[in-house]
Each structure stands twice: as structure tokens, then as C-alpha cells.
């Protein structure tokens, strides 16, 4: 039995050794197969790496698509080719034969900015249609070198929409971007240079907020005297007014119709010491003489108030329709102030002396400048001219806060010239949005009212040692005729 057991034991051990050897050989074979599968050219490790790369590549493409989707939301589902190009430039480098993207985006190969991917096709990012904007570019208007015969919609390089009124054009010296101050002129020479009155576009959204901000320039009136509609059937609006600090602005806490604070439109007549009982009669009589074609609007205080309402509402409706208004690039004064032509009421854009306010005393008062600002309308039928409203002035400054000139809105000293004789438009540091002398030369009367008998003037003047900023406000009685006072007029499209 023992012998048999030993043989069985020996036989068992032999079988075990053979089995172990076979198992090891099988494991080695399997290991080799596994290593080959993992490491060969198309092995698992390579496939895993490819999956990781594809994920990163896909993430980049999806990130760019997100930017495109955001742009489409802003544009109501549309995207322009130049906007798509701006997004591509953010993430990729690529070669173009010209300035424009090809119509077939599958032919445009992109390289990521980190050079990690150089095989992404533009068509992988967007394969839809581009919105074709038929609006004329600013540079196209400039190239025409002629005055337009009809109101024309134009778009700036920074995609701000502008309406150039009939009888005007954009001169060569105008920038192409709205934030730099798009200029229009009513006269141009054969080279495309302006030889006439110049105005700068202030863009306003349809909801009356200043483009690039959430700040409205006007709102529907709620005060008892102003609720409802004016005599022309338009809803009554009132100006929204702001205080400016640093590079920001906040809506005034107490203002508007129904108060004695800052407000517009308003018809307050200055108290006249010489005619205490008939101040409104005497000053309105002057307006009837200076503006005979609308004399009925200045019969008495009530008709004057209606005139203020109608003019303000008409301006607001124009702004809502055409997307903005124009501000004169240069101040408007009287004869010998800024080459002001007394016979035609034309405030030229040419450089002229800032001092020696002329010899017509009454013309330097608020009423004289108010009436003269209106006379430009008679020459240009496509627009209406007006002394600037306070809310237009604040809208202009709020738009300036979105651009490179924002520091100058509340900066003091740019308009302080001492006793030197200075020419308007010469002092380049006193320029905001391509508009000259908002701080210096003259303080500028507006249509904004305050208290019982004040109109509000803005900015500072050439010899004011206190050096107030463009956003500063002064309260002046309308019979003030100091030589440092002028105004600035605006245009809105009819």
C-alpha cells in the first residue's frame, strides 16, 4: 500500500509541475497579447488617449459655440459674419486670402491659440447662415463725398445704428465708431471734408435707455399737470436727470414734474424786476417777434407750457423712432462769440473767438438763445433744432461714460483757459465724444428748469477759476446776459 501511495504521490507531483509550467506559459502568452493590444499603434492606451483628446477638442468647440449662441440671443437669433469672425479671433488663428471669411467655412482651417489643435474646421463650429446686413457702413457714406437726398440708415464699425438725415452726410474726418463720435455735416467739399455745421450722434435704445447702459433719458410723466397726452395726441414724457460722480452716474433723488426741483419740460418765466407783473408777457412777446411762424405757441404762460410739452414729446418720439439724436459739435453763442450769424440764426461749426459777446443784449439771454436755436430748422427741413434739453445733456454724458472719454465727464480743469483769448475747438483736451468745449469756453444754457424762475446751465467757462466739470449744473435767471453764457443746440429727425 505504501508503495502504491508513493507512486501516486510522485505521479501527482509530476502532473502538478507540468500543469504549473503550462499555466505559466499560458499566462505569458496572454500577457503578451494584452501588452500588444494595449501598446500597439491602435492599442487601448492609444485609443484612450484619443478619447481624451477628442473630449478636449470637443470642449473647445462647444465653448466657442456657446459664445455664438449668446451673440445670437442678443441679435434675436441672427449672427453677422463679422461677429462670427470676432469670436473666432478670440480662440483661433487662421489664414485668409482677404479680409472676409469664405462662404464655404469647411475650407477654413483653424489653429487653437495654444497650438494644441490645428485641424478644426470653421464649419464644425457653425454651419448655418449669416445674417446679411444691408445697412450702409459709415465708410461707404464717407466715400460718396456728397450730401444725402433722403434719411439713410447707417451702421458704425462698432455696430451702432445711425440715421443720417437728408441734407447731411458723414465727412472724412469722422471716425467709424460711435463711441469715438460719429460726425454729420450739412456742407462738404469735393475732397469729403466738412465745411459746415457739425453734429455728433448719441445712440438711444427703443426703450429710451442710453446704448451700452441701463439708464433711461426719459419716462412717461406721472405728475397731475402732465398725465395724459399733449395737444398733438402724444403721451407726455419728462426727462430723467442724473448726478455724476467719478466715472458713474446715479438718478437724482428728487426731481421731475410736480416738484420745485430740477425738471423738464417746464415753462417757468423769469421774474423781471423792471416788469414784476408782466414778465411773462414781455418775454413771450420777444419770442413771438423772433419766432413769428409759431407765434401762437407763445401767447401766454399756458400756451408756452403746451409748447414745452409738445416739443419734448416730439423729440422723444423721434429718438424712439430713429434710435438717437444729434448734439452740435460746437457751442452756439451770439455774433462774435462763435461766428454766429445773427441774420440767419445759423451757428457755424467753424472755429471762432470765444469772447466779446456782441452788442445785442437780449440775444444773450435765455430767450434769445432759445429762439435762435430753433431757426436752424427753417434751413434743414429733415430735422428740428432746439436748445439742448437737460436729459439730452445727461444722456450724452452717460454715453460718454461707456467709452474712452469717461474720465473727462467729471474732471475739472480741462476748460479753464485763464484770461487768454481761445478759439472754440482748439483745446483738444476739452473734448468728449468728439464734441468740443463741454467744460470750457462758455457755460451752456439748457431747457431744464429749477425752482420758480431758473433755467439750468451746464459745464464751466474759460475764466472760471473754480473749474467746474462738464457735468456741473448752474441755476441762472433767464434774463442773465453775461458774456460767458452760451448754449448748445441739438437736432432730432422729423
Q: Give the domain ranges of the chain.
A: 44-125, 136-196, 218-493
Q: CB-based burial of residue 57 (10 Å sphere; 0-12 exposed, 13-18 middle, 19+ buried)? A: middle
Residue 477: which residues within 8 A CB-CB, separation 6 or more? 270, 271, 453, 454, 455
Q: How far apart are CA 457 and CA 487, in angstroms?
A: 8
> What grid cell was written down for 110?
483653424
pLDDT of residue 269: 63
pLDDT of residue 462: 74
Q: How far apart are CA 429 and CA 396, in angstroms?
A: 17
Q: How far apart are CA 361 and CA 479, in angstroms?
A: 10
Q: How far apart are CA 80 and CA 34, in angstroms?
A: 53
Q: What is the pTM of this model?
A: 0.73
pLDDT of residue 386: 93
| Cα-based distances in Å from 424 to 266, 358, 429, 456, 483 | 30, 16, 12, 22, 15
Q: CB-based burial of residue 204 (10 Å sphere; 0-12 exposed, 13-18 middle, 19+ buried)? A: buried
Classified as helix, coil or strand, 376 is helix
C-alpha dihedral sign at 140, 143, 144, 147: positive
pLDDT of residue 353: 34
pLDDT of residue 463: 73
Q: How far apart are CA 67 and CA 88, in angstroms?
A: 10
Q: Tens digit of pLDDT per residue, the chain (494 long)? A: 444 444 444 444 555 556 655 666 656 555 554 545 444 545 544 444 444 455 688 999 999 999 888 888 877 788 878 788 888 988 999 998 776 788 889 899 999 998 889 999 999 999 888 876 667 889 999 999 999 999 999 999 888 999 999 999 999 999 999 999 999 998 899 999 998 888 999 999 999 999 999 999 999 999 888 889 998 999 999 999 999 999 999 999 989 888 888 999 987 665 545 554 555 567 788 888 888 889 999 888 888 889 999 999 999 999 999 999 999 988 876 544 433 333 333 344 333 333 333 334 556 688 888 888 888 876 678 999 999 999 999 999 999 999 999 999 998 877 666 665 456 666 677 889 999 888 887 889 999 999 877 899 999 887 776 768 999 998 998 888 777 888 888 999 98
Smallest CA-to-CA distance from 487 within 281, 367, 333, 259 is with 333
| Cα-based distances in Å from 279 to 208, 302, 374, 451 | 36, 14, 22, 16
Classified as helix, coil or strand, 93 is strand
pLDDT of residue 339: 39
pLDDT of residue 347: 40
**How many Cβ atoms from other residues are within 10 Å of residue 152's Cβ?**
18
Conformation bin of residue 127: beta by default, left when phi > 0, alpha when psi is -120 to 50: alpha
pLDDT of residue 159: 84
Pairing assessment for the beta strands 136-137 and 152-155 based on DSSP bridges? parallel
Q: How far apart are CA 161 and CA 151, in angstroms?
A: 13
Amino acid at each position: 500500500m505504501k508503495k502504491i501511495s508513493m507512486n501516486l504521490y510522485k505521479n501527482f507531483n509530476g502532473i502538478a509541475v507540468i500543469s504549473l509550467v503550462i499555466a505559466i506559459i499560458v499566462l505569458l502568452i496572454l500577457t503578451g497579447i494584452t501588452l500588444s493590444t494595449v501598446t500597439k499603434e491602435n492599442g487601448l492606451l492609444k485609443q484612450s488617449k484619443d478619447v481624451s483628446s477628442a473630449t478636449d477638442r470637443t470642449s473647445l468647440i462647444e465653448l466657442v459655440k456657446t459664445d455664438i449662441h449668446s451673440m445670437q440671443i442678443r441679435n434675436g437669433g441672427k449672427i453677422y459674419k463679422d461677429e462670427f469672425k470676432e469670436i473666432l479671433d478670440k480662440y483661433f488663428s487662421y489664414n485668409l486670402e482677404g479680409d472676409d471669411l469664405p462662404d464655404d467655412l469647411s475650407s477654413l482651417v483653424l489653429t487653437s491659440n495654444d497650438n494644441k489643435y490645428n485641424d478644426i474646421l470653421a464649419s464644425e463650429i457653425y454651419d448655418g447662415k449669416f445674417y446679411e446686413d444691408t445697412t450702409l457702413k459709415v465708410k461707404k457714406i464717407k466715400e460718396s463725398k456728397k450730401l444725402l437726398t433722403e434719411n439713410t440708415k447707417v451702421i458704425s464699425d462698432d455696430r451702432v445704428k445711425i440715421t443720417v438725415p437728408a441734407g447731411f452726410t458723414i465727412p472724412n474726418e469722422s471716425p467709424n465708431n460711435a463711441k469715438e463720435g460719429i460726425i454729420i455735416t450739412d456742407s462738404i467739399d469735393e475732397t469729403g471734408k466738412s465745411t459746415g455745421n457739425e453734429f455728433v450722434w448719441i445712440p438711444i435704445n427703443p426703450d429710451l435707455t442710453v446704448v451700452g447702459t441701463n439708464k433711461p433719458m426719459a419716462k412717461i410723466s406721472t405728475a397731475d399737470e402732465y398725465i395724459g397726452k399733449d395737444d398733438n395726441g402724444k403721451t407726455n414724457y419728462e426727462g430723467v436727470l442724473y448726478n455724476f460722480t467719478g466715472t458713474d452716474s446715479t438718478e437724482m433723488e428728487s426731481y421731475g414734474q410736480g416738484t420745485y426741483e430740477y425738471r423738464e419740460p417746464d415753462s417757468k418765466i423769469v421774474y423781471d424786476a423792471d416788469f414784476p407783473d408782466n414778465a411773462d408777457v414781455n418775454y413771450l412777446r420777444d419770442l413771438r417777434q423772433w419766432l413769428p411762424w409759431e407765434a401762437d405757441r407763445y401767447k401766454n404762460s399756458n400756451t408756452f407750457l403746451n409748447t414745452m410739452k409738445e416739443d419734448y414729446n416730439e423729440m422723444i418720439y423721434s429718438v424712439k423712432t430713429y434710435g438717437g439724436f444729434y448734439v452740435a459739435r460746437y457751442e452756439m453763442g451770439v455774433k462774435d462769440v462763435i461766428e454766429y450769424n445773427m441774420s440767419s440764426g445759423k451757428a457755424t461749426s467753424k472755429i471762432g473767438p470765444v469772447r466779446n459777446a456782441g452788442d445785442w443784449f437780449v440775444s444773450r439771454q435765455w430767450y434769445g438763445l432759445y429762439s435762435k436755436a430753433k431757426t436752424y430748422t427753417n434751413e434743414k427741413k429733415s430735422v428740428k433744432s432746439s436748445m439742448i434739453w437737460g436729459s439730452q445733456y445727461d444722456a450724452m454724458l452717460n454715453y460718454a461714460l461707456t467709452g474712452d472719454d469717461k474720465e473727462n465727464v467729471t474732471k475739472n480743469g480741462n476748460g479753464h483757459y485763464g484770461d487768454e483769448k481761445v478759439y472754440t475747438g482748439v483745446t483738444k483736451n476739452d473734448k468728449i465724444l468728439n464734441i468740443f468745449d463741454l467744460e470750457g469756453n462758455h457755460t451752456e444754457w439748457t431747457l431744464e428748469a429749477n425752482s420758480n424762475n431758473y433755467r439750468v446751465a451746464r459745464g464751466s467757462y474759460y475764466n472760471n477759476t473754480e473749474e467746474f466739470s462738464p457735468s456741473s449744473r448752474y441755476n441762472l435767471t433767464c434774463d442773465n446776459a453775461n458774456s460767458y453764457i452760451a448754449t448748445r443746440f441739438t437736432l432730432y429727425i422729423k
